[in-house]
Amino acid sequence: MIRFPPAAGKAVTLGLLVIVLATTGCATHHNGPSATAAPAERPFRVEQGLRYTPPDWPEALYADLYLPEGVADDSARPVVLMVHGGGWRRRSREDMTWIAEDVASHGFAVLNIDYRFAPTHTFPAQLHDLQIARQWLNRNADQYQLDHAQVSGFGFSSGAHLVALLGVVASSDSELNQPYGGPGTRLDAVVAGGLPSDLPAFGSGKLIRQFLGGEQRDMPETYRKASPIAHVTDQSPPFFLFHGAMDALVPFSQAQRFRAELQRHGVYSELYEMHLRGHITSFLTAGNAVDEAIGFLTRQQQR
């Protein structure tokens, strides 16, 4: 089934629609399980515009919290921290609304967040924002009936980079855990679409340069530290990767190499290879990938 983000519907041209119709269902799920019945969908409510940053944070940042209904009084909802893309410098959490709704309808609470943008704010400011959001879930778990011990991440493009980085850094002894990370910001699992996992491979392109604050030749260690692939350990969380096989912006090899590093450390992963899709089309036609990702998150939550 094809599902478009509501905000993108009017922007889909006839030519793109033809491509979409030709490629729907055209994917390979590496290490994916046999098809299983999807859990029944359930209603949810949304708490919009919650400020998750402390009063003294450099910029006030907000999130929408999706809460499945019909949860027993003594039960806590597993949570997904959701992060939008946009080259670390634009877009908003509204881009992820359609995915947040889908995930919430399958029983997960979802915290869909905004974060600070480059070039005004450079790395690691964005990682700090995610770490603070993860801490917010810990502090507010009782109020919203959340299971802060079962928190996963979901992001696309630069959002995938940030949530993947959060996941691997929190489960490591990286200095990036200071001052806002550490064990309290761990993730149980991560879904990452169009993931730029190894930033030095991109050279000093404009987006990377703005995000990191300089040229690679002048700050190679920063480029390395900002790369999720550099922080994978045996303790990293399981990953579900989905990626367009024809992605020219973030090459498919970025997902392949990251998965190989996970496998080298014995970390479970699945790769959903979307044939004939580029970077944008892999998001606009991500309905099936999202379905598979929800199945992955459900299985991880049941482990």
Q: What is the pLDDT of residue 11?
A: 44
CA distance 168 to 170: 6
Q: What is the pLDDT of residue 160?
A: 98
**Residue 265: Cβ within 10 Å count:** 12
Q: What is the pLDDT of residue 6?
A: 52
Q: What is the pLDDT of residue 14?
A: 39
Q: Where are the beta strands (DSSP E) in 3-108?
A: 27-30, 44-51, 62-68, 77-83
Q: What is the pLDDT of residue 21?
A: 39
CA distance 167 to 238: 9
Q: Which residues contact 171 (CB under 8 A, 6 or more apart)?
A: 186, 187, 233, 235, 236, 237
CA distance 301 to 78: 7
Question: Which whole-number Å values give the CA distances from 229 to 83, 105, 223, in the listed order?
Answer: 19, 32, 11
Read off the pTM: 0.91
Q: What is the pLDDT of residue 23?
A: 46
The answer to whether 152 and 81 have CB atoms below 8 angstroms apart is yes
- What residues in the chain have per-residue pLDDT under 70? 1-25, 34-40
Strand order in the sheet with 27-30: 27-30, 269-274, 239-244, 190-193, 146-156, 77-83, 109-113, 62-68, 44-51
3 state SS of 194 = coil
Q: Where are the alpha helices (DSSP H) in the chain?
A: 14-23, 97-104, 125-139, 141-144, 158-170, 206-212, 220-225, 252-264, 279-284, 287-302
Q: What is the pLDDT of residue 75?
A: 87
Domains and CATH numbers, the chain: 6-302 (3.40.50.1820)
Q: What is the pLDDT of residue 12?
A: 44
Q: What is the pLDDT of residue 191?
A: 98
Q: What is the pLDDT of residue 17?
A: 44
Which residue type is seen at 167?
Answer: G
Q: Which residues contact 185 (CB under 8 A, 6 or more apart)?
A: 130, 131, 134, 135, 166, 170, 177
Q: What is the pLDDT of residue 36?
A: 56
| Peptide bond just before 6 cis, omega within 30 deg | no
Q: What is the pLDDT of residue 41?
A: 83
Q: What is the pLDDT of residue 114?
A: 98
State the chain's mean pLDDT as an integer: 92
The answer to whether 228 and 239 have CB atoms below 8 angstroms apart is no
**In whole angstroms, what separates CA 91 from the centre of its chain?**
15
Tokens 């209904």, located at residue: 69
Q: What is the pLDDT of residue 5?
A: 56
User: HSE-up of 42 (CA within 13 Å, CB side)?
Assistant: 16
